[in-house]
């Protein structure tokens, strides 16, 4: 256990140093433990709130013992993560904007992607490999907003243009293609309303 703690401290220090060198705002006591990869464009806005914990791989989480966390932020985009959030083996891909509030918990192997990634036009898809500037392609992007105190279970997919309201819960294995109001439980593929939360 002591070796694991030393390893986590070292990887956290290395990641913090790299992130701050490219202008990422990192709050106090933010930690990045295990196998966590970043691909962040300097011409983007990235904020990691205080107390954030992101883990990946190395048997840190039994639900994703070998899966790394991967965060990709493209040019002229934004990723804002609030305070006291916790993610494990998460994949975040930003083409436009992803905003996550405070005290959000996201389970293992969940994917957040604010884009279709490919054109819905089959002729354009045939030509994608030849394009050097993908901004000229007809690919749909739309922001993702996750409000405060949301809990998203393991192995979920959160699609573009989605807002998940404060305190709501998304059941494990769900595919969210429709916005979720505050104080509700949703689940399934596609995710549907299950019940109202009594707070």
- Give the CATH number of domain 2-196; options: 3.90.1150.10, 2.160.10.10, 3.50.50.60, 2.40.70.10: 2.160.10.10
What is residue 67's predicted lDDT score, i.e. its pLDDT?
82
Pairing state between β 184-187 and 192-196:
antiparallel
Structure token pair of residue 166: 């404060």
For residue 126, what are the contacts with CB-CB under 8 A and spacing of at least 6? Answer: none
Residues of the chain with pLDDT under 70: 1-17, 21, 59, 62, 129-137, 199
144 SS3 class: strand
54: nearest Cα among 113, 94, 106, 1 = 106
What is residue 2's predicted lDDT score, i.e. its pLDDT?
36
What is residue 7's predicted lDDT score, i.e. its pLDDT?
42
CB 59 within 8 A of CB 80: no
- Helix (H) or strand (E) holding 19, with range, is helix 2-21
| Domain ranges, ordered by start, for the chain | 2-196
The mean of the pLDDT values for the chain is 86
**What residue ranges in 10-158 does DSSP mark as E strands?**
25-26, 31-34, 36-40, 45-48, 53-56, 69-73, 78-81, 86-88, 91-94, 97-100, 105-106, 111-113, 144-146, 151-152, 157-158
- Helix (H) or strand (E) holding 12, with range, is helix 2-21
What is residue 14's predicted lDDT score, i.e. its pLDDT?
64
Q: What is the pLDDT of residues 147-186, one digit of tens each?
A: 999 999 999 999 999 999 999 999 999 999 999 999 999 9
pTM: 0.86
What is residue 85's predicted lDDT score, i.e. its pLDDT?
97
Whole-number Å distance between alpha carbons of 46 and 158: 19
């Amino acid at each position: 256990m002591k070796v694991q703690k030393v390893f986590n401290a070292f990887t956290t220090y290395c990641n913090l140093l790299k992130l701050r060198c490219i202008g990422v705002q990192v709050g106090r006591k933010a930690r990045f433990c295990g196998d966590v990869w970043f691909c962040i464009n300097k011409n983007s806005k990235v904020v990691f709130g205080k107390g954030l914990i992101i883990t990946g791989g190395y048997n840190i989480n039994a639900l994703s013992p070998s899966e790394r966390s991967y965060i990709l932020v493209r040019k002229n985009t934004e990723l804002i993560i609030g305070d006291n959030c916790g993610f494990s083996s998460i994949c975040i891909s930003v083409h436009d904007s992803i905003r996550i509030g405070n005290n959000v918990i996201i389970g293992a192997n969940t994917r957040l992607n604010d884009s279709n990634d490919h054109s819905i036009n089959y002729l354009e898809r045939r030509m994608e490999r030849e394009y050097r500037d993908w901004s000229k392609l007809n690919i749909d992007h739309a922001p993702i907003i996750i409000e405060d105190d949301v809990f998203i279970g393991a192995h979920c997919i959160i699609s573009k243009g989605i807002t998940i309201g404060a305190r709501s819960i998304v059941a494990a294995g769900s595919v969210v293609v429709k916005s979720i109001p505050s104080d509700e439980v949703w689940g399934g593929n596609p995710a549907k309303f299950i019940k109202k939360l009594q707070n």
